A = this chain, B = another copy of it.
Amino acid sequence: MQVAVNFFSKHKQVISYGLSLAILLFLLKWLEMRYVIINHSLEIYIGAIAMIFTGLGIWLALKLTKPKTVVVEKEVFIHSEDTFYPNNQSIEKLGISRRELEVLQLISAGFSNQEIADQLFVSLNTIKTHSSNLFGKLDVKSRTQAVEKAKRLNIIGK
């Protein structure tokens, strides 16, 4: 029982197409009789049939063919900025404080010590102390090295 219902629902389209075809054939039969009786030109009749069935064929083909699926691979660049999470383990292990991390981020953004001092409302000397302590903890000798290493250790974003 269930199987039968399943069959009908699954082939609903095909069945409806079949029915349409049958109706069309009956229509043609009727047309044929009329034309034969009225004795019109056979060419017109033939032409009509040809056109109708050409159209039917086109319609059938368009409806029944599966879409030719073309899979286009589209590159989606995943920017690490979107998914960056600082490696807190590294930060704690190295004993880097919040303020130092802040300074580190500004250094990596390309700011000079003076600019960082202005942004954080502290003196230039303070920033120098922070950066110096930072270099010690990161075991580097310059700001560019610090940035390179911090990015490598995922302490700051890339």
Contacts and interface: CB of A to CB of B under 8 A. Distances in A.
Contacts of A75: 76, 78
| Copies of this chain assembled into the complex | 2
Contacts of A67: 67-68, 70
A107 B144 CA distance: 7
Interface in A129-158: 140-149, 151, 158
Nearest to A141: B112
B57 A144 contact: no
Interface stretch (A1-9, A45-53, A95-103, A118-126): A45-53
Contact of A68 (B28, B68, B78, B80): B68
Contact of A56 (B28, B57, B149): B57
